[in-house]
Homo-oligomer: A and B are copies of this chain.
Amino acid sequence: MSSIEILGLVAATLTTIAFFPQAIHSWRSKDVSGVSLAMYCTFTSGVALWMIYGFLIESLPVILSNVVTLPLSLSILYLKLKEGKISKSKD
């Protein structure tokens, strides 16, 4: 593994670690009221495209960070969509 790849993996680890607490907090508390649906759709689409881009340029750090972030982001999006349905059915 080259030193460039190691640098990229450290970068990927740091930004992914920073995203974890928010995802775990949202998932545990089921509180996603502070999260905008439009924002999470945008973010999740972006992460999916980054993952494809990572595979195309064969960059392990880009692939790994987005493979880890995508399910987290999708799970928050799922909670948000479910919350939307519940509040609609309450109306």
Interface residues of A (CB under 8 A from B): 4, 7-8, 10-19, 21-22, 34, 36, 39-40, 42-43, 45-47, 49-50, 52-53, 56-57, 59, 61-62
Contacts and interface: CB of A to CB of B under 8 A. Distances in A.
A34 B22 CA distance: 10
User: Copies of this chain, how many?
Assistant: 2
17 contacts: A4-B56, A4-B57, A7-B52, A7-B56, A11-B53, A12-B46, A12-B50, A14-B45, A15-B46, A15-B50, A16-B46, A18-B40, A18-B43, A18-B46, A21-B36, A34-B34, A62-B62
Contacts of A34: 34
Given A49-B7, A49-B10, A62-B62, A42 B56 contact: no
Contacts of A12: 46, 50
A53 B34 CA distance: 32
Given A18-B39, A18-B42, A42-B17, A11 B50 contact: yes
